[in-house]
């Protein structure tokens, strides 16, 4: 496994969520992610509650491969950055243990500078230092 500075990876990972230009966003994703990488989101409470009513005990939301990840990142950008005026940034303190990196992040209002949300991710890296699996936990 190649050497990766966990905080630099956290910063690059969070920066992808703020990229406005679609072509640049795709290029960032292809540098950051393995081709068959998977983003797995622990859904917000309202989605978990609705799923439980339908008989799904532990739902997850997944996007796999460059196209799906690009769609996921683009929709997040549209909803949170473009419409709500947030930017995403990594918190200090990312740590690496072998091929796994734990990061914390926050959503910041561009209007006030206030932190309005956040979460944590567990990134599993491939042998080239690209993200193979991303387990995202908003609100943590």
pLDDT digits (tens, 9 = 90+) for 25-51: 999 999 999 999 999 988 777 777 887
pLDDT at site 75: 94
Task: Report the CATH number at residue 134.
Answer: 3.10.450.50
Mean pLDDT of 62-86: 96
Does some domain include residue 1? no
Strands (E), 22-85: 33-41, 61-64
Question: Cα–Cα distance between 72 and 67 in angstroms, integer?
Answer: 9
Domains: count for the chain: 1
Does some domain include residue 68? yes
Question: Cα–Cα distance between 44 and 60 in angstroms, integer?
Answer: 10
Mean pLDDT of the chain: 93
End-to-end CA distance of the chain: 28
Domain with 47 in it? 6-138
Ramachandran sector of residue 108 (left: φ over 0; alpha: ψ -120 to 50; beta: rest):
beta
Does some domain include residue 86? yes
Does some domain include residue 118? yes
pLDDT, tens digit, 9 for 90 and up, residues 104-138? 999 999 999 999 999 999 999 999 999 999 999 99
Tokens encoding 94: 């990312």
């Amino acid at each position: 496994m190649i050497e990766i500075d966990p905080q630099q990876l956290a910063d690059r990972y969070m920066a992808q969520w703020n990229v406005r230009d679609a072509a640049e966003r795709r290029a960032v994703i292809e540098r950051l992610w393995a081709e068959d990488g998977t983003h797995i989101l622990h859904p917000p409470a309202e989605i978990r509650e609705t799923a439980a009513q339908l008989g799904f005990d532990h739902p997850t939301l997944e996007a796999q491969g460059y196209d799906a990840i690009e769609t996921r990142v683009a929709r997040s950008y549209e909803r949170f950055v473009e419409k709500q005026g947030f930017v995403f940034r990594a918190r200090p303190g990312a740590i690496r243990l072998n091929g796994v990196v734990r990061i914390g992040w926050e959503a910041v209002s561009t209007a006030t500078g206030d932190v309005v949300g956040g979460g944590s991710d567990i990134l599993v890296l491939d042998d080239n230092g690209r993200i193979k699996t991303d387990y995202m936990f908003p609100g943590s």
